[in-house]
């Protein structure tokens, strides 16, 4: 079907012609659609069966402009191809950790997927101090499986190149290059920040050592095609309930450094940690929840590293270092050492990438709800300053980090006297 923009009426007609979608509904279903997209980029419809409203699917369609800015900011709708092919890959690699996909239509820039009515956005639930006991386990599995199985540790050279050619995601990479790695640290019209932290913003934008370190991370982001990364793995791209975790919205997917995804998760947990100095007045409650966040950071990194190591040592099928390369006395120790060094390098990238992500959420165009929901700018400045200090140290000290405890140590140090906020 040639491209046209769907609306609440036409989306139902569109779905009725798709058996793979109608199979999700009882026989004789009448479809009602409601547009609910609050994002910046896409139309999102929830389509339900009038006779059995619990039967629902989600229809996501890209429009050929940046929705938040209107038709004056064109953005190719072909970005939906990156999202749908990444979702299909995640369905295959980590079923249950991404929304189930029922139908993909590249012509229409449409993907039809599972309705996540029993799940909520993780970022909001972290503000509300909800504990998700499986979160670290689920996210570390998502990271280990998706990153390992799209890297040269697992894929043949031809498979990797074919992945690379399918994920040259020019437009959305450029958004990240600008809004995560460049503009927040210089004068740029779209930047906005709390004027209570004017002094810190100014200092940071003139900190030569920090800016050189950020640029090293940008270069890595632009030039390192280590694995297929999600590319936007913040806590707003994760939906959860007590049993399940779903990672969504992989439209930024491209071949990049693994640390960009792992760092996004850790940075967002650290941001939440900082925010609770304001959100949670009761010290006991605050400590308990912050300990949970730290445990989850540890669980994400250590789970990721352990699962990645286990996958690699038992599935060394990739073209990076075929088994015969290790056939010499002490070869298996050498391979173990290579895997160890590889993961230590991912940790350092994680710190560097995560640090940029923390800072840009305070200084750049896109902010986070855990800070924005603090109405008083004086109070909001406290966790914002913490996030800047932690992010800045993560980027600059990354080469010295040997484990996730080093990242957590910086977070604890920089938040230990909240009054200095």
- For residue 402, the surrounding DSSP H or E stretch is none
Provide φ and ψ at 212, rounded to 5°: -65, -40
**Is 365 a residue that touches a second copy (CB under 8 A)?**
no
Residue 334 engages a second copy in binding (rule: CB under 8 A): yes
Tell the smallest beta-carbon distance from residue 17 to a second copy (Å): 34
CA distance 54 to 51: 9
Distance, CA of 109 to CA of 111 (rounded, Å):
7
Minimum distance from residue 383 beta carbon to a second copy (Å): 26
Task: Tell the smallest beta-carbon distance from residue 190 to a second copy (Å).
Answer: 13
> Are the C-beta atoms of 75 and 57 separated by less than 8 Å?
no
223 belongs to the binding site for a second copy (CB under 8 A): yes
CA distance 274 to 269: 9
Residue with smaller CB distance to a second copy, 210 or 386: 210
Among 26, 170, 287, 315, which residue interacts with a second copy (rule: CB under 8 A)?
170
Work out whether 419 is an interface residue with a second copy (CB under 8 A): no
For residues 118 and 38, give the distance between their C-alpha atoms in angstroms, rounded to a whole number. 18
Interface with a second copy (CB under 8 A), residue from 200, 226, 235, 350: 226
Pairing of strands 52-62, 101-105: unpaired
Q: Phi first, then psi: what are they for 347, rounded to 5°?
A: -60, -45
Among 4, 92, 118, 174, binds a second copy (CB under 8 A): 174
* Beta carbon of residue 296, minimum distance to a second copy (angstroms, whole number): 29
Asked if residue 313 binds a second copy (CB under 8 A), the reply is no
Handedness of CA 391, 393, 399, 403 (dihedral sign): negative
Q: Are strands 52-62 and 42-49 parallel, antiparallel or unpaired?
A: antiparallel
Q: Which stretch binds a second copy (CB under 8 A): 102-110, 313-321, 393-401, 410-418?
A: 313-321
Distance from the Cα of residue 203 to its chain's centroid: 28
- Residue 78, interface with a second copy (CB under 8 A)? no
Of the candidate residues 47, 173, 293, 358, the single one contacting a second copy (CB under 8 A): 173
> Is 417 an interacting residue with respect to a second copy (CB under 8 A)?
no
The binder of a second copy chosen from 52, 162, 242, 315 (CB under 8 A): 162
Minimum CB distance to a second copy, residue 106 (Å): 18
From 31-39, 123-131, 181-189, 357-365, span contacting a second copy (CB under 8 A)? 181-189
The answer to whether 215 contacts a second copy (rule: CB under 8 A) is yes
| Alpha helices for 315-403 (secondary structure H) | 331-363, 369-372, 377-397
What gap in Å lies between CA 210 and CA 216, rounded to an integer?
10
Q: Which is nearer to a second copy, 170 or 420 (CB)?
A: 170
**Residue 248, number of CB atoms within 10 A of its CB:** 23
Q: Is 38 exposed, middle or buried (0-12, 13-18, 19+ CB in 10 A)?
A: exposed
Give yes or no for residue 377 binding a second copy (CB under 8 A): no
> Which of 158, 375 has the CB closer to a second copy?
158
Give the one residue of 117, 133, 322, 377 binding a second copy; rule: CB under 8 A: 322
Angle between helix axes 258-279 and 283-314 (nearest 10 degrees) is 170
Which is nearer to a second copy, 183 or 271 (by Cβ)? 183
400 touches a second copy (CB under 8 A): no
Candidate list 8, 35, 130, 177; residue touching a second copy; CB under 8 A: 177
| 5 DSSP assignment | -
Contacts to a second copy from residues 121-160, by CB under 8 A: 152, 157-158, 160
Rule CB under 8 A: say whether 329 interacts with a second copy: yes
- 395: Cα within 13 Å, side-chain hemisphere: 30
Query: Which strands form 31-35's sheet, in the order they lie side by side?
Result: 31-35, 42-49, 52-62, 110-114, 101-105
Under the binding rule (CB under 8 A), the answer on residue 50 touching a second copy is no
Token reading at 367: 């902010």
The stretch among 76-84, 133-141, 206-214, 351-359 that binds a second copy (CB under 8 A) is: 206-214
Instruction: Catalog residues that contact a second copy under the rule CB under 8 A.
Output: 152, 157-158, 160-162, 164-165, 168, 170, 173-174, 177, 182, 185-188, 205-206, 208, 211-212, 215, 218-219, 222-226, 319-322, 324-325, 327-331, 333-334, 337-338, 341
């Amino acid at each position: 079907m040639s491209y046209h923009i769907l609306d609440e009426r036409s989306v139902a007609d569109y779905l009725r012609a798709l058996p793979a979608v109608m199979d999700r509904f009882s026989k004789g279903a009448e479809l009602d659609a409601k547009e609910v997209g609050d994002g910046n980029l896409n139309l999102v419809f929830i389509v339900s069966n009038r006779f059995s409203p619990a039967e629902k699917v989600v229809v996501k369609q890209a429009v050929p402009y940046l929705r938040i800015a209107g038709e004056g900011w064109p953005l190719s709708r072909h970005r939906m191809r990156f999202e749908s092919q990444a979702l299909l890959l995640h369905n295959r690699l980590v079923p249950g950790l991404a929304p189930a996909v029922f139908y993909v239509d590249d012509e229409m820039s449409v993907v039809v997927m599972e309705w996540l009515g029993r799940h909520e956005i993780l970022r909001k639930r972290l503000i509300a101090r909800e504990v998700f006991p499986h979160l670290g386990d689920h996210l570390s599995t998502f990271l280990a499986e998706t990153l390992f199985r799209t890297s040269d540790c697992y894929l043949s050279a031809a498979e990797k190149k074919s992945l690379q050619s399918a994920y040259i995601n020019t437009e959305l990479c450029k958004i990240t290059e600008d809004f995560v790695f460049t503009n927040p640290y210089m004068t740029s019209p779209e930047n906005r920040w709390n004027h209570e932290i004017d002094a810190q913003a100014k200092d940071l934008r003139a900190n030569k050592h920090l800016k050189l370190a950020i640029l090293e991370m940008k270069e890595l982001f632009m030039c390192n095609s280590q694995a297929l990364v999600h590319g936007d793995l913040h806590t707003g791209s994760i939906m959860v309930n007590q049993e399940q975790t779903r990672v969504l919205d992989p439209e930024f997917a491209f071949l990049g450094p693994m640390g960009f995804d792992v760092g996004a998760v850790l940075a967002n947990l650290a941001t939440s940690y900082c925010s609770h100095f304001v959100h949670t007045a009761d010290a006991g409650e605050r400590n308990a929840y912050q300990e949970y966040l730290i445990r989850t950071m540890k669980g994400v990194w250590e789970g990721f590293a352990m699962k990645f190591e286990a996958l690699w040592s038992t599935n060394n099928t990739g073209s990076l270092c075929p088994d015969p390369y290790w056939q010499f006395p002490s070869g298996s120790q050498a391979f173990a050492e290579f895997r160890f060094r590889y993961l230590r390098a991912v940790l350092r990238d994680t710190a560097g990438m995560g640090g940029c992500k923390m800072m840009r959420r305070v200084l750049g165009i896109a902010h986070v709800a855990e800070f924005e929901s603090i109405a008083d700018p004086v109070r909001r400045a406290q966790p914002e300053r913490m996030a800047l200090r932690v992010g800045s140290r993560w980027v600059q000290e990354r080469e010295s980090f040997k484990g996730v405890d080093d990242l957590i140590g910086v977070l604890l140090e920089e938040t230990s006297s909240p009054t200095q906020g």
